[in-house]
Amino acid sequence: CDNSKDSKTDVRYEDGTVRLRNSNIELMDQDILYHLALGSGSHDLVEMFGDVKFVCLGGTPKRMEQFAHYIMGEIGHKLPTGTTLQDISQFSYRYSMYKVGPVLSISHGMGLPSMGILLHEVIKLMYHAKVKDPVFLRIGTSGGIGIEPGTVVISEQTVDGLLRPYYELAVLGKIVQRPAVLDKKLMRELKALHHAEDPYETVTGKTMCTTDFYEGQGRLDGAFCDFNENEKMEYLEKIQSANVINMEMESLAFAALTHSAGIRSAVICVTIVDRLKGDQNYRSTIFMELLIRLPGMKISMGSKEKIRSG
Binding site residues, ligand R2B, CB under 6 A = 59, 110, 140-142, 213, 248-250
Question: Which stretch of DSSP H or E encloses residue 233?
Answer: helix 229-241
Residue 166 or 287 having the CB closest to ligand R2B: 287
How far apart, in whole angstroms, are the C-alpha atoms of residue 298 and residue 201? 16
Task: Calculate ∠ Cα 114-217-227, nearest 5°.
Answer: 135
Residue 104 or 153 having the CB closest to ligand R2B: 153
Residue 76 or 222 having the CB closest to ligand R2B: 222
How far apart, in whole angstroms, are the C-alpha atoms of residue 58 and residue 68? 11
Least distance from C-beta 111 to ligand R2B, angstroms? 6
Least distance from C-beta 91 to ligand R2B, angstroms? 24
Residue 79 or 286 having the CB closest to ligand R2B: 286
Least distance from C-beta 23 to ligand R2B, angstroms? 33
Which letter does DSSP use for residue 223 in this model? Answer: S
Least distance from C-beta 248 to ligand R2B, angstroms? 3
Least distance from C-beta 6 to ligand R2B, angstroms? 35
- By CB neighbour count within 10 A (0-12 exposed, 13-18 middle, 19+ buried), where does 33 fall? buried
Residue 59 or 262 having the CB closest to ligand R2B: 59
Which letter does DSSP use for residue 129 in this model? Answer: T
How far apart, in whole angstroms, are the C-alpha atoms of residue 33 and residue 81? 30
